[in-house]
């Protein structure tokens, strides 16, 4: 019998690359030995986003209080808002034998790599930068100013791609998810 190995998996990639679409498909296709870590954020919910499912939407004051209380495994200010991963959630799940997937941006990913050198790190890249820009604009979820901030962040993120164990190009979603599942199985089974 193969034993399941609970791992911390960092899933990073520029805004607009399609991480959310990939993960929705991934979690439909895998076993229940892996859970998604729901982050806290100070950004406003988008249409259809549910508190506690997509994020815990909290105020800046609440977030800063949680930083003081060291409740975050990592946190970052991205595009003018705070985002952070709850320490306790991650520790609890790992101790229950579940792998935990963190969908986080680069600054947070680098913090977790330092604190948890055993984490598996995956970077999702777009086929081209132009394609990333098209996808980001096609979502119609951000203002032009926010799109510009996200594109600037994407350039920085792409410069750090070599720090990750695995790189997946998200050209065709199905194929990209196949690769993600292969990595998951290889690292945890």
Query: Rounded CA gap, 90 and 81, in Å?
Result: 22
Q: Which residues contact 104 (CB under 8 A, 6 or more apart)?
A: 10, 11, 12, 39, 74, 76, 83, 85, 112
Interaction of residue 103 with ligand 5GP, rule CB under 6 A: yes
In the complex, the smallest distance separating the C-beta of residue 120 from ligand 5GP, rounded to whole angstroms, is: 16
Residues 14-53 that bind ligand 5GP (CB under 6 A): 15, 39, 43
Which C-beta is closer to ligand 5GP: that of 84 or that of 126?
Answer: 84
Please report whether residue 74 would count as binding ligand 5GP according to CB under 6 A.
yes
Torsion angle in degrees (nearest 10) through CA of 27, 87, 157, 56: 70
Query: Among 9, 22, 66, 76, which residue interacts with ligand 5GP (rule: CB under 6 A)?
Result: 76
| 84 in contact with ligand 5GP (CB under 6 A) | yes
Residue 132 tokens, joined: 């990333």
Residue 60's contacts (CB-CB under 8 Å, 6 or more residues apart) are 42, 82
Q: Any contact of residue 126 with ligand 5GP (CB under 6 A)?
A: no
The torsion region of residue 150 among left (phi > 0), alpha (psi -120 to 50) and beta comes to alpha
**Is residue 12 a contact partner of residue 50, using CB atoms and an 8 Å limit?**
no
Among 26, 78, 164, 184, binds ligand 5GP (CB under 6 A): 78
Which of the ranges 78-86, 92-100, 130-138, 174-182 carries the binding residues for ligand 5GP, by CB under 6 A? 78-86
User: What is the binding site for ligand 5GP (CB under 6 A)?
Assistant: 15, 39, 43, 74, 76, 78, 83-85, 103-105, 107-108
């Amino acid at each position: 019998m193969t034993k399941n190995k609970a791992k911390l998996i960092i899933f990073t990639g520029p805004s607009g690359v399609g991480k959310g679409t990939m993960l929705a498909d991934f979690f439909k296709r895998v076993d229940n030995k892996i859970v998604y870590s729901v982050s806290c954020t100070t950004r406003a919910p988008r249409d259809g986003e549910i508190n506690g499912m997509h994020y815990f939407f909290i105020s800046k004051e609440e977030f800063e209080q949680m930083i003081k209380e060291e409740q975050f495994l990592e946190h970052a200010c991205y595009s003018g808002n705070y985002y952070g991963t709850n320490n306790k959630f991650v520790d609890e799940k790992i101790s229950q034998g579940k792998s935990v997937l963190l969908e986080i941006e680069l600054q947070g990913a680098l913090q977790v790599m330092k604190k948890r050198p055993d984490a598996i790190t995956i970077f999702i890249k777009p086929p081209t930068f132009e394609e990333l820009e098209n996808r980001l604009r096609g979502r119609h979820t951000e203002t032009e100013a926010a799109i510009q901030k996200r594109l600037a962040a994407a350039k920085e993120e792409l410069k750090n791609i070599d720090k990750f164990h695995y790189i997946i190009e998200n050209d065709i979603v199905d194929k990209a998810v196949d690769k993600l599942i292969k990595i998951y199985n290889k690292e945890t089974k």
